[in-house]
Amino acid sequence: MLRKSLGSVIALQGCITAGKYEAIFPGPVSVTSPINLFVIVIYRPPGPLGDFLEEMDTLLSVFPSDSTPLTVLGDFNLPFDKLHSSGLLALLNSFSLSFNSCPPTHKEGNVLDLVFTHPSPATDMTATPLHISDHHLVSFTITLSYPA
């Protein structure tokens, strides 16, 4: 039987077909070959922010501040119109993470599932309704370059 709360799934597709993939639950996904790449999946329960911004600040502080690609994505349970006033955008911008605009990701028309990237933007953002969730499947493309 499927549960209503299924969580998040990451599917890597394309050029990254060989190498070392490391998933540390509930930590980030780290790809170390053929390029370095970090992916952080976030789930923030609905309700007040509490210590969320401080915890995000601490989490992001452990990642390199160089040009290593970093993607932060997930269900932030923060409606799009509250992003600025919450301080989340300012915090993520301070780590050079850019917000990637997305169509509504929830069946009620809200954008609750967010994607932030550094240094390359996400393109081809789509949100596809699913039969088993009130959230849509968010897919996108990030073009990465091999280090020189």
Question: Is a pLDDT exceeding 60 seen at residue 121?
Answer: yes
Question: Is a pLDDT exceeding 70 seen at residue 69?
Answer: yes
- What is the rounded CA–CA span in Å between residue 125 and residue 80? 16
- What is the rounded CA–CA span in Å between residue 26 and residue 24? 6
Tally of structural domains, the chain? 1
* All residues at 6 or more sequence positions from 91 whose CB lies less than 8 Å from its CB, including other chains: 53, 56, 57, 60
Whether 2 maps to a domain, the answer reads: no
Whether 34 maps to a domain, the answer reads: yes
Domain that holds residue 99: 21-142
Supply the CATH number for residue 35's domain: 3.60.10.10
Task: Pick the closest to residue 137 from 108, 113, 101, 110 (CA basis).
Answer: 113
- Work out the pLDDT band at 89, boundaries 50, 70, 90: very high
Threshold 0.85, pTM exceeds: no
Whether 48 maps to a domain, the answer reads: yes
Tens of pLDDT, residues 22-57:
333 345 566 656 778 888 888 888 888 888 898 899
| Positive or negative torsion for Cα 119, 82, 88, 108 | negative
Whether 12 maps to a domain, the answer reads: no
Q: Which two tokens stand for residue 51?
A: 């210590």
Residue 116 near residue 92 (C-beta atoms within 8 A): yes
Whether 124 maps to a domain, the answer reads: yes
Whether 98 maps to a domain, the answer reads: yes
Whether 107 maps to a domain, the answer reads: yes
Tens of pLDDT, residues 40-49:
888 888 888 8
Whether 1 maps to a domain, the answer reads: no
